[in-house]
Structure 1
Amino acid sequence: MFYRLAQKVLFQTNPEVAHAIAMNGIRMTSNTPLDLFYRQNVAHAPVEFMGVTFPNPVGLAAGMDKDGECINGFAAMGFGHVEVGTVTPRPQPGNDKPRAFRLKPARAIINRMGFNNKGVDNLVANIKASNPGDCVIGVNIGKNKDTPLEEGKNDYLYCMEKVYEVSGYIAVNISSPNTPGLRSLQYGEMLDDLLSSLKAKQEELAEKHGKYVPIALKVAPDLSDDELKAVCDSLLRNRFDGVIATNTTLSREGVEHLPEHGEMGGLSGVPLRERATVIIDKLHQNLGDKMPILGCGGIDSGKDAMDKVDVGAKMVQIYTGFIYCGPELIKDITDAYLARK
């Protein structure tokens, strides 16, 4: 009830302003009596994923809490994991505003944020100050916009070294459509070079810190079948631990009739649902049981989540569905998951 009232108010204002208000509210009320407005008990439904035990199969996708300022609040809502970021080595403002647009009739969002964040040192400090209980913290890493593409690998390695000790897992974001040239890292020699370098760094850091932190690659929904196969071959060759499917899409299929469809950026929400599920299915066909898949894209019900599990996802993440449905979606998905067991 409280979320529905808050949503009605927030949906009257600019999406980015609404996001800032909501995040400030969560940050200021977490670990106080006021968190009762969103705290909920979610059934215990442990999942083993990439060698890590998650308390339930529902996570918050990267992009919501870029700087790790609300980890405790999201944990109180019952998320099994919170993926913070995308974080870059240096702080950056992101793209010019406006850069986020609601497509309410389609239950969708277009964004072109551009990795706006306060930098990796700030994020690490916030994670260290958090107390999320058994909720797993994932960290999504990227490159600064002004780092030349040919030097982008160094940004990922730098971030990985910084966040390794405080991460439950690390997600490598080379699939955002909002950083110029970034998606070219998904192909050929550049992909192999990046993945092999990250794997070598992971092994070095595991020995240094005495713990193994798994790494996963986040892929775009706009890859062709041949491109997907090449990505899978590289993931297996470089012994990555998992894959996250998918990021936002450049397609506007299903929203062509809405005035906001012409805005540049990545589309998320219900229009992405079917495409994301198809990508998960094709990834599973290529990977089999050799690598687990984390499903993301267009989930706003327990059934949507189970559709992704049915084609090969082991866990799921929500973002746009969370904005439209609220924290109760976490319970709906977890209950649907338990009903299948």
Structure 2
Amino acid sequence: MAGAAPPGTPHLGVRPDWLALTREPALEPDLPIVDAHHHLWDRGEGRYLFDDLLADMNAGHDVRATVFVQSRSMYRPDGPEPLRPVGEVEFANGIAAQAASGLYGRRAACAAIVACADLTLGAAVAPILDALDRAGGDRLRGIRNQTAWHAHPEVVSNPVPPKPGLLAHAGFREGARLLGRRGLTLDVWAYQTQLAEVAALADACPDTTIVLDHCGGPIGVGPYAGRRAEAFAEWHAGIAALSRRPNLVVKLGGLAMRVGGYAFHERARPPGSSELAEAWRPVIGACLDLFGPQRCLFESNFPVDKGMVSYGVVWNAFKRVAVGASPAEKAALFHGTACRIYRLDAAAIASVP
């Protein structure tokens, strides 16, 4: 089937020739962007490395910096299991150094790094965080564990499904509180059926900034297939409750995964930004209304979302959804909130020529 997932992964296959069928000039090409969530990898499902990211960053939008988020890339092949994710931070930091050399233009790829550390270790995760911090230089900004879980076999987005109940695990919460004391964020990828668990986690860790990935995981497959209105009502109730937690912000994006049920990858041509904006506006618009621009940040979620939409088109879609925002609100949504949450130099990013 067109866009079918490569063996061993739920991610959609990336088809450059198919994506090239829909091309658009960048809207508002001078609007500075920090891509608040992307991955890099070289594994069975394909490659997405610095050259691929750079090509996407050069697709016409003014993407000035990016945030790398854990994706099980380049883990150490041996040594103590808890320390193996240090290899991923070494890898991402190397890409960041390559980008910072100036040889590839003024695009700060991997300017912030969200790593993996097993938070269920509780206080014992401290030396792991120390090792990650050393490996990342001054770029380590947060931690993410694999937590998106659902009992239905079609509701899956991780090649290695996590164990259920991690968000309520006592050790996980202890580790999450430690992140706050260290000035690190906690990224959480959870489906709409887990949003009550995220709310309880936010209450248990009031001094830790929690970044909710991918709009809080609205589901459109499995038990929710063909029931978008009912699914939206359930998701909206959960996301509204989360908006009342002041230590929580939400990433706007990640809606081009198979689990969202939009299925644009099954068509003869990829979607344009107007169609994407129309499809995604209810979800993204609700997040904007509930959280406000100061607690929302746009993300590409590439290359995961690249199975359904190209980089240039996805940013055009976000700009169409945000068309009614003021200049100050757009600045927050497209770079300001990301700079604040991930401690990037907003003035330096804004001044990039």
> Please, what TM-score do these two structures have when normalized by structure 1?
0.48
> Please, what TM-score do these two structures have when normalized by structure 2?
0.47
The structure with higher relative contact order (CA 8 Å, sep 6+) is 2
